[in-house]
């Protein structure tokens, strides 16, 4: 006899993926995967007042949220946006004329 409350949902891979419990392990995992984010930022995204902007949680272990690594990575990838602004222009080289003007002005100031 199986208890439906404890049975895995269809599609769950209980044995293949360990849950990350708490924001600190999630922060370390996402940072190691190339998505640097602090524990504090994850906590802020996870607040109900943030409107569900944080990574999806599987449930809670006590008062700590538990996250599937694959879903957390998908969430982090979904936050990548288009490049903002224009690319920086290369620096303009100083021409000889500008340098000559600077020395001319300093020479006339000395006189």
- Per-residue pLDDT tens for 80-100? 888 877 777 777 776 656 656
Cα separation, 88 vs 90, whole angstroms: 6
d(CA 94, CA 52): 51
Alpha-carbon separation of residue 73 from 25, 32, 84, 88 (angstroms)? 13, 11, 22, 30
pLDDT value at position 105?
A: 59
Taking the C-alpha atoms of residue 77 and residue 99, their distance in angstroms, rounded to an integer, is 49
pLDDT at 72 over 60: yes
């Amino acid at each position: 006899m199986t208890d439906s409350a404890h049975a895995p949902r269809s599609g769950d891979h209980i044995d293949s993926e360990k849950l990350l419990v708490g924001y600190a392990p999630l922060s370390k995992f996402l940072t190691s995967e190339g998505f640097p984010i602090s524990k504090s930022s994850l906590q802020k995204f996870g607040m109900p007042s943030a409107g569900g902007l944080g990574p999806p949680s599987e449930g809670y272990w006590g008062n700590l949220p538990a996250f599937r690594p694959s879903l957390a990575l998908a969430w982090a990838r979904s936050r990548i946006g288009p490049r903002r602004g224009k690319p920086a222009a290369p620096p303009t080289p100083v021409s000889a004329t500008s340098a000559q003007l600077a020395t001319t002005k300093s020479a006339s100031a000395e006189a």
